[in-house]
C-alpha cells in the first residue's frame, strides 16, 4: 500500500513537471518580435522601421518624410501610443521628417530618442544646399516632450530594449565632408532571438569603408537594410562581409527600377547593379518599400 502511494506521487510529479515544462516552452518559443518596413506614402524615397518587441514595446528607426507621419502615427497609436526607443540615424528629411511631425503634432509618449549628431554649423557648412531644413530638426529636439529624453550614442555602445540587444557599429564621421550627412549615419546591429539585423541607414562609400576597416568581424547579419536606399551607398565589399539572406530595401518604385520616367534601367541610379550584387551573394529574399508596409516575424 505504501509502495502504491509512493508510485502515485512519483507519477503525479512527473506529469506536473511535464506540464510545467510544456507551458514554459510554449511561452518562450511562442514569442515573436515584429519588424515592419514602412511604405513610402509619397513617390519619394524614405526610410522607416517599426519594431514591436516580444512584450509589445515599440522601437522606431527614422520614420520617413513629414507626409509619412500619419501611417506611422496610426500604427503607434494602435499599439498604445508609447514608443520605448526612437533611433534617428541622420537628420535628412526622408528620415526625420515624420519624427518631427509626430513630436510637434501628436501626444504619443517617446521615452528615449537616440541620435548621432555633428554640430548644426557642420551640417550647414557641408550640405546646406541639399538639406536646408536641418536647423528645423535641431529645433524639434528642443521640444519639451523629448528634450530630456535625448541620448547621443557612442561607438560600440550596447543598448538593451526588452528582448532586443542593440549595438551601435557606426556613428557620425565629421571627417567625411563629401556626401557629409549620409556618411555620418548611425549604423545599428540588433540581435533578435537567434537572428541579427543590420541597419546601415544612408551609409556612403567612405563610411562603408570605415565600417569594413573597424567593425569587420561584427558586420555579419542575417538581415540587412540596404545602404542609402539601395544605391550608391556602401560598396559590394561591405555586403560580402555581411553575407545576408534577407535584404530590406527602403526604395521607391522608380528607384528600384532605375526608371526616371523613360523606362527600366534608363536612369543614373545604381540600384540594378546593387540588386545584382545581392543576388550573387545569395540573398534570396527582398522586401521593398514600394510594395507597402511589410512585417517580418522574427
- 15 burial type by CB count under 10 A (0-12 exposed, 13-18 middle, 19+ buried): exposed
For residue 291, the minimal CB distance to Zn ion (Å) is: 18
For residue 93, the minimal CB distance to Zn ion (Å) is: 9
Nearer to Zn ion, 53 or 230 (CB): 230
For residue 141, the minimal CB distance to Zn ion (Å) is: 19
Cα 32 from Cα 106, distance rounded (Å):
28
For residue 201, the minimal CB distance to Zn ion (Å) is: 8
Cα 36 from Cα 16, distance rounded (Å):
39
- The phi, psi pair for 197, rounded to 5°, reads -125, 130
Nearer to Zn ion, 202 or 289 (CB): 202
C-alpha cell at 148: 530630456
Nearer to Zn ion, 94 or 167 (CB): 94
Residues that bind Zn ion (CB under 5 A): 94, 202
- 3-class DSSP string for 65-130: CHHHHHHHHHHHHHCCCEECEEECCCCCHHHHHHHHHHHHHCCCEECCEEECCCCHHHHHHHHCCC
Nearer to Zn ion, 76 or 93 (CB): 93
For residue 13, the minimal CB distance to Zn ion (Å) is: 60
Nearer to Zn ion, 93 or 192 (CB): 93
Cα 177 from Cα 190, distance rounded (Å):
28
- The Cβ-side half-sphere exposure at 128, using a 13 Å CA radius, reads 7
Nearer to Zn ion, 101 or 202 (CB): 202
Cα 172 from Cα 155, distance rounded (Å):
9
Q: Note the Cα 31 to chain centre separation in Å.
A: 20
For residue 89, the minimal CB distance to Zn ion (Å) is: 9
Nearer to Zn ion, 98 or 161 (CB): 98
* 63 neighbors 102 (Cβ within 8 angstroms): yes
Cα 133 from Cα 99, distance rounded (Å):
14
Cα 159 from Cα 52, distance rounded (Å):
16
Nearer to Zn ion, 167 or 202 (CB): 202
- 14 burial type by CB count under 10 A (0-12 exposed, 13-18 middle, 19+ buried): exposed
Amino acid at each position: 500500500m505504501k509502495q502504491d502511494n509512493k508510485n502515485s506521487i512519483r507519477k503525479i510529479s512527473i506529469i506536473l513537471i511535464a506540464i510545467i515544462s510544456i507551458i514554459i516552452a510554449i511561452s518562450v518559443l511562442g514569442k515573436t518580435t515584429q519588424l515592419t518596413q514602412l511604405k513610402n506614402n509619397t513617390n519619394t524615397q524614405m526610410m522607416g522601421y517599426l519594431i514591436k518587441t516580444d512584450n509589445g514595446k515599440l522601437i522606431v528607426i527614422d520614420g520617413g518624410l513629414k507626409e509619412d507621419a500619419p501611417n506611422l502615427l496610426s500604427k503607434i497609436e494602435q499599439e498604445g501610443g508609447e514608443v520605448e526607443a526612437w533611433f534617428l540615424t541622420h537628420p535628412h528629411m526622408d528620415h526625420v521628417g515624420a519624427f518631427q511631425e509626430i513630436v510637434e503634432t501628436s501626444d504619443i509618449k517617446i521615452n528615449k530618442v537616440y541620435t548621432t549628431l555633428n554640430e548644426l554649423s557642420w551640417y550647414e557648412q557641408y550640405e546646406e544646399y541639399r538639406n536646408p531644413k536641418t536647423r528645423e530638426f535641431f529645433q524639434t529636439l528642443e521640444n519639451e516632450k523629448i528634450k530630456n529624453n535625448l541620448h547621443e550614442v557612442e561607438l560600440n555602445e550596447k543598448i538593451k530594449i526588452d528582448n532586443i540587444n542593440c549595438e551601435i557599429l557606426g556613428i557620425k564621421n565629421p571627417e567625411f565632408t563629401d556626401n557629409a550627412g549620409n556618411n555620418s549615419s548611425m549604423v545599428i546591429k540588433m540581435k533578435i532571438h537567434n537572428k541579427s539585423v543590420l541597419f546601415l541607414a544612408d551609409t556612403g562609400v567612405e563610411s562603408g569603408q570605415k565600417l569594413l576597416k573597424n567593425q569587420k568581424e561584427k558586420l555579419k547579419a542575417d538581415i540587412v537594410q540596404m545602404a542609402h536606399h539601395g544605391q550608391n551607398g556602401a560598396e559590394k565589399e561591405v555586403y560580402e562581409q555581411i553575407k545576408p539572406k534577407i535584404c530590406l530595401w527602403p526604395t521607391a518604385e522608380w528607384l528600384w527600377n532605375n526608371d526616371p520616367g523613360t523606362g527600366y534601367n534608363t536612369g543614373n541610379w545604381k540600384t540594378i547593379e546593387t540588386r545584382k550584387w545581392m543576388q550573387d551573394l545569395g540573398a534570396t529574399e527582398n522586401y521593398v518599400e514600394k510594395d507597402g508596409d511589410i512585417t517580418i516575424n522574427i
